[in-house]
């Protein structure tokens, strides 16, 4: 019997932020008849810049990192070739597919590992923009190392847009490289490790030329007052973030191990989710019968792939138990790929 729904399909962290962060956001409602104070937004920029070890002038806020990604795409991909990896975020493909651009998708296939930038050099040369989520969603793989980002920035005249939404889980960043590469842009978010998905706080880090172009187009009030207050408070003491990240990483490895024992193929991940493969083409749909929602990747990947975020220990146990029951109850379910 399904008692409640467990959502493991959106790569959210399962823990709410601390009470003081919630309180700060409530304080932001007190004089909500006023626009957000630009000074307070600047303070948030300063704190995010210090957290990211970059200059404040390179850092811009946005309502979630998705809106920043779309803004960068619109600003820099008017004509010419746009390159993405495949699979990637569906809104990126949708956004670029609509325009006069020629979209090139670099298919990443098993085994999921670093992209060999040099082997695509010819296609990349005249690109106006390349987008890579690193780690990639949905594979969880770090596709680029620092050397590959260096190469990309040198090969491409256009913009190299790197999405580090899962930075706190992978601990890998190229944000500091915006100083060396004028065409590099890094986007990050407070939706994942900071647990502020519902408040929509994203940020972008860019070199000077792009920063200038971006600020000339910027709107005055990008994020709401409750969001500014909560994000600022969240950055005052980030120890809880690191603690939550540690719990997620421990749980991720436990789920990976336990699900593998059942015959599920589980891929290595540098993020807070796991890519899984079974011979069951509708695993996500069948898990819904047990009240577990995971992401069905059938539109994006070959049959049998699904993505599950790491939840609380109890939620993960429910996922594992449901997988076990499903496999035990279905004799016909062919055993799974290793």
Q: Which residue from 189, 270, 309, 316 is in contact with ligand PMP, where contact means CB under 6 A?
A: 189
Kind of pairing between the strands at 6-8 and 59-62: unpaired
Question: What is the C-alpha to C-alpha distance for residues 302 and 298, in angstroms, rounded to an integer?
Answer: 6
Shortest reach from residue 185's CB to ligand PMP, in Å: 13
Size of the site for ligand PMP (CB under 6 A): 13
Shortest reach from residue 158's CB to ligand PMP, in Å: 20
Question: What is the C-alpha to C-alpha distance for residues 7 and 129, in angstroms, rounded to an integer?
Answer: 34
Shortest reach from residue 274's CB to ligand PMP, in Å: 14
Strand partners, 205: 59, 186
Cis, peptide link before residue 225, omega less than 30° from 0: no
Nearer Cβ to ligand PMP, position 228 or 336?
228
| Residue 132, phi then psi, degrees to nearest 5 | -135, 125
Nearer Cβ to ligand PMP, position 95 or 163?
163
Nearer Cβ to ligand PMP, position 14 or 320?
14
Question: What is the C-alpha to C-alpha distance for residues 75 and 184, in angstroms, rounded to an integer?
Answer: 14
Shortest reach from residue 289's CB to ligand PMP, in Å: 25
Question: What is the C-alpha to C-alpha distance for residues 138 and 144, in angstroms, rounded to an integer?
Answer: 15
Question: What is the C-alpha to C-alpha distance for residues 308 and 292, in angstroms, rounded to an integer?
Answer: 10
Q: Is 168 in the site for ligand PMP (CB under 6 A)?
A: no
Shortest reach from residue 247's CB to ligand PMP, in Å: 20
Nearer Cβ to ligand PMP, position 189 or 278?
189
Shortest reach from residue 78's CB to ligand PMP, in Å: 22
In eight-state DSSP terms, residue 80 is: S
Dump strand ranges (E) for the chain: 6-8, 59-62, 81-86, 102-107, 127-133, 159-163, 184-189, 202-206, 265-266, 273-277, 292-296, 305-309
Q: Is 191 in the site for ligand PMP (CB under 6 A)?
A: yes
Nearer Cβ to ligand PMP, position 189 or 227?
189
Scan residues 46-85 and list those touching ligand PMP (CB under 6 A): 64-66
Q: Which residue from 8, 47, 165, 210 is in contact with ligand PMP, where contact means CB under 6 A?
A: 165
Shortest reach from residue 284's CB to ligand PMP, in Å: 16
Scan residues 100-139 and list those touching ligand PMP (CB under 6 A): 133, 137
Scan residues 3-22 and list those touching ligand PMP (CB under 6 A): 11
Nearer Cβ to ligand PMP, position 165 or 249?
165
Structure tokens belonging to residue 230: 């909560």
| Secondary structure (3-state) at 7 | strand
| Residue 134, phi then psi, degrees to nearest 5 | -140, 100
Q: Which residue from 36, 87, 158, 202 is in contact with ligand PMP, where contact means CB under 6 A?
A: 202
* Contact residues: ligand PMP, CB under 6 A: 11, 64-66, 89, 133, 137, 163, 165, 189, 191, 197, 202
């Amino acid at each position: 019997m399904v008692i409640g729904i467990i959502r493991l399909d959106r790569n959210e962290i399962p823990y709410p932020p601390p009470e003081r962060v919630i309180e700060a956001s409530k304080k932001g409602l007190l004089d909500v008849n006023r626009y957000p104070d630009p000074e307070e937004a600047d303070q948030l920029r300063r704190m995010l810049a210090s957290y990211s070890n970059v200059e404040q002038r390179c850092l811009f806020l946005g309502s979630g990192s998705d809106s920043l990604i779309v803004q960068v795409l619109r600003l820099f991909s008017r004509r010419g070739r746009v390159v993405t990896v495949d699979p990637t975020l569906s809104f990126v493909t949708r956004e670029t597919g609509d325009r006069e651009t020629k979209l090139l998708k670099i298919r990443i296939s098993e085994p999921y590992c670093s992209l060999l930038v040099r082997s695509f050099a010819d296609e990349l040369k005249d690109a106006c923009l390349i987008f890579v989520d690193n780690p990639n969603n949905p594979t969880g793989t770090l596709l680029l190392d620092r050397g590959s980002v260096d190469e990309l920035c040198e090969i491409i005249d256009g913009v190299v847009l790197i999405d580090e939404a899962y930075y706190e889980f992978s601990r890998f960043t190229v944000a500091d490289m915006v100083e060396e590469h004028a065409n590099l842009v890094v986007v990050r978010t407070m939706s994942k490790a900071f647990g502020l998905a519902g408040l929509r706080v994203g940020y972008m880090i860019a070199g000077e030329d792009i920063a200038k172009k971006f600020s000339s187009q910027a709107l005055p009030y990008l994020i709401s007052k409750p969001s500014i207050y909560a994000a600022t408070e969240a950055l005052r003491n980030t120890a809880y973030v690191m603690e939550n990240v540690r719990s997620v990483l421990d749980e991720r490895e436990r789920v990976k191990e336990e699900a593998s024992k059942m015959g599920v193929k589980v891929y290595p991940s540098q993020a807070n989710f796991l890519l899984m493969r079974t011979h069951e083409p509708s695993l996500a749909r069948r898990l819904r019968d047990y009240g577990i929602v995971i992401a069905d990747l059938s539109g994006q990947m070959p049959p049998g792939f699904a993505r599950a975020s790491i939840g609380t220990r109890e939620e993960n146990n429910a996922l594992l138990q449901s997988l076990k029951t499903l496999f035990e109850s279905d004799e016909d379910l062919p055993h799974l790929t290793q």
